[in-house]
């Protein structure tokens, strides 16, 4: 099969231009939901989509839909896409490859003279990353109905601001939030292209990963309220130090993840904030956010239970008040076997070796799988590194992924 004319250098230029829109100096990419950089990046993407001749729609939480209309408007569209928000101190490829790569796939298809029967829709999801509200996949969660409107209304960022406040600031509030939810099977398929964020493809020198399963994340937010005081004057036996309770809890998370018997259980205390944060003051408050994942629910549930049981024990011993909130407890997703085979066929026709794999990171695909047949295409990234500024995939690796995506979209939309 003759590969579609994917322009890897044009795509790389656009990836680099997007990376320059960041809250932190290069090589760091930070684009937290609703930050100035996030809004600027959205404008950049919209402009590129318009230049590619796509028609745009934005929903009430800022999910962006860029459509190439097919010849038969009665057919359900095929969708692709990913996210452009980036956690603090991130790199330039996570999510972006699935957005700008999909746009390049569409341009290559257009250039080849392909005319889709089904519409092809590129979706740029709002906040795949959990940074602002502690909850990942905000846009796709709302689309799938997995996040209730009550829970969405209760979300607070570290400054106590609500989702509605930020929707208003970004002018996404002209429609009601409930309009974000999509009907089941409103897409015939959803395909997400993404960097692997792990080392397997690189180690095995395989250019394409075909994802069969996506691991399930869960997140806890823990508030600890101790007693502050003068670091010189409060003697050690009299202390109720919120940080020390938090430190014990973080170690309990590590122990819980290490002892499930499954090598796939991973636990991370990725947020740990304290007040007042002065060297000569006993920490009176701490906030922890704990990320716990596994490919199977029973072992993750066991670890979650152990962590939730450890918190009251630590806090009682140290005289600390606490609150535990389960921000999300998600189920793993299975990719659609028919789509997995379609992509594997495309790779065979292109002469590209493939590896069937699971995704240990979560993605908007986790929630799209609740609405429509879904699958993911992975490409290698150097050293398996992600969520770091030195995240890297080569233009050739990206070109392979985009080529596979383009041919897959052509098959699905023909």
Site residues, ligand GLV (CB under 6 A): 129, 136, 361-362
Among residues 129 and 241, whose Cβ is nearest to ligand GLV? Answer: 129
Look up tokens 């072992």; give the residue.
Answer: 299
Q: Which residue, 95 or 332, has its beta carbon nearer to Mn ion? A: 95
Quote the CA–CA distance of 408 and 405 in Å, as a whole number: 5
User: Shortest approach of ligand GLV to residue 361 CB, angstroms?
Assistant: 3
For the CB of residue 174, give the shortest distance to ligand GLV in the complex, in Å.
29
Partner that binds at residue 401, options Mn ion, ligand GLV, none, CB closer than 5 to 8 Å by kind:
none
Q: How far is the CB of 94 from Mn ion (least distance, A)?
A: 4
Q: How crowded is residue 155: how many other Cβ atoms within 10 Å of its Cβ? A: 18
Half-sphere CA count of 337, side-chain side, radius 13 A: 0
Q: Are 139 and 181 in contact (CB under 8 A)?
A: no
Min CB(59)–Mn ion separation in Å: 20
Q: Could you tell me the smallest distance in angstroms from the CB atom of residue 83 to Mn ion? A: 6
Q: What is the DSSP string of 235-301?
A: -GGG-B-HHHHHHHHHHHHHHHHHTSS-TT-EEEEEEEEEES--TTEE--EEEEEEEEEESSHHHHH
Buried (b) or exposed (e) across 164-197, using 16+ Cβ within 10 A? eebbeebebbeeebeebbbeeeebbbbbbbbbbb
Stretch that binds Mn ion, among 91-99, 199-207, 233-241, 279-287 (CB under 5 A): 91-99
Gap between the terminal Cα atoms of the chain: 16
Radius of gyration from C-alpha coordinates of the chain: 22
Q: Candidates 59, 94, 196, 391: give the one binding Mn ion (CB under 5 A).
A: 94
**Strand 189-195 to 374-379 pairing:** parallel
Q: Closest separation between CB of residue 100 and Mn ion, Å?
A: 13
Binding partner of residue 380 among Mn ion, ligand GLV, none, CB under 5 to 8 Å per kind?
A: none
Residue with smaller CB distance to ligand GLV, 68 or 125 = 125
59 or 129: whose CB is closer to ligand GLV? 129
Q: Smallest Cα–Cα separation from 119: which of 109, 129, 128, 127?
A: 109
Q: What is the CA 87 to chain-centroid distance, rounded? A: 9
Q: Are 12 and 20 in contact (CB under 8 A)?
A: no
Q: How far is the C-alpha of 22 from the C-alpha of 13, rounded, in Å? A: 16
Only one of the segments 42-50, 92-100, 219-227, 285-293 lies at the binding site for Mn ion (rule: CB under 5 A); that segment is: 92-100
| Closer residue to Mn ion in complex, CB, 364/400 | 364
Candidates 192, 12, 15, 168; CA nearest to 98 is 192
Q: Could you tell me the smallest distance in angstroms from the CB atom of residue 293 to ligand GLV?
A: 8
Q: Which is nearer to ligand GLV, 212 or 321 (CB)?
A: 212
Return the one option of Mn ion, ligand GLV, none that residue 392 interacts with (CB less than 5 to 8 A, by type): none
Identified binder of Mn ion from the candidate list 3, 62, 95, 101, rule CB under 5 A: 95
Which residue carries 């050690």 as its tokens? 236
- Closest CB to ligand GLV among residues 287, 362: 362
CA 283 to chain centre: 32
Instruction: Report which residue's Cβ sits closest to ligand GLV.
Output: 361
DSSP 203: H
CB 363 to ligand GLV: min, Å: 7
Cβ-contact 54, 109 below 8 angstroms? no
In the shown chain, the binding pattern of residues 48 to 87 toward Mn ion, with x for contact by CB under 5 A and - for none, equals ----------------------------------------
362 binds, among ligand GLV, Mn ion, none (CB under 5 to 8 A by kind): ligand GLV
Of 127 and 340, nearer to ligand GLV (C-beta) is: 127
Minimum CB–partner distance for residue 105 and Mn ion (Å): 18
79 vs 216 by CB, closer to ligand GLV: 216
Applying CB under 5 A, which residues contact Mn ion? Answer: 94-95
């Amino acid at each position: 099969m003759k590969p579609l004319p994917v322009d890897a250098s044009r795509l790389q230029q656009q990836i680099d231009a997007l990376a320059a829109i960041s809250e932190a100096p290069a090589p760091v990419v930070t684009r937290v939901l609703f930050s100035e950089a996030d809004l600027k990046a959205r404008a950049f993407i919209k402009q590129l989509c318009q230049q590619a001749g796509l028609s745009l729609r934005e929903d009430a939480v800022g999910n962006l839909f860029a459509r190439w209309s097919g010849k038969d408007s009665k057919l359900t569209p095929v969708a692709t896409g990913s996210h452009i928000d980036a956690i603090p101190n991130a790199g330039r490829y996570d999510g972006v490859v699935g957005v700008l790569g999909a746009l390049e796939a569409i341009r290559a298809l257009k250039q080849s003279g392909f005319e889709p029967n089904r519409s092809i829709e590129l979706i740029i999801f709002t906040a795949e990353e959990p940074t602002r509200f502690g909850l990942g996949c905000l846009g796709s969660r709302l689309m799938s109905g997995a996040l209730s409107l009550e829970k969405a209304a209760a979300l607070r960022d570290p400054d106590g601001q609500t989702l509605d406040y930020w929707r208003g600031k970004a002018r996404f509030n002209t429609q009601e939030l409930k309009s974000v939810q999509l009907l089941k099977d409103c897409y015939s398929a959803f395909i997400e292209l993404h960097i692997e964020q792990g080392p397997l493809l690189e180690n095995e020198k395989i250019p394409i990963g075909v994802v069969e399963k996506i691991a399930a994340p869960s997140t806890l937010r823990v508030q600890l309220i101790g007693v502050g005081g003068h670091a010189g004057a409060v003697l050690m036996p009299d202390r109720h130090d919120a940080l020390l309770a938090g430190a014990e809890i973080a170690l309990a998370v590590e122990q819980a993840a290490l002892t499930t018997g499954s090598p796939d259980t991973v636990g991370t205390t990725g947020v740990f904030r304290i007040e007042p944060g002065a060297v000569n003051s006993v920490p009176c408050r701490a906030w922890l956010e704990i990320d716990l994942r596994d490919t199977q629910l029973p072992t993750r549930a066991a670890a979650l239970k152990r962590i939730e049981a450890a918190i009251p024990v630590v806090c009682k011993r140290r005289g600390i008040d606490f609150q535990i909130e389960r921000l999300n407890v998600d189920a793993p997703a299975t990719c659609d076997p028919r789509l997995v085979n379609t992509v594997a066929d495309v790779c065979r026709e292109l002469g590209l070796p493939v590896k069937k794999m699971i995704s240990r990171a979560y993605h908007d695909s986790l929630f799209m799988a609740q609405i429509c047949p879904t699958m993911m295409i992975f490409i290698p990234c150097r050293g398996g590194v992600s969520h770091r500024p030195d995240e890297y995939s080569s233009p050739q690796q990206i070109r392979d992924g985009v080529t596979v995506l383009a041919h897959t979209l052509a098959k699905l939309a023909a």
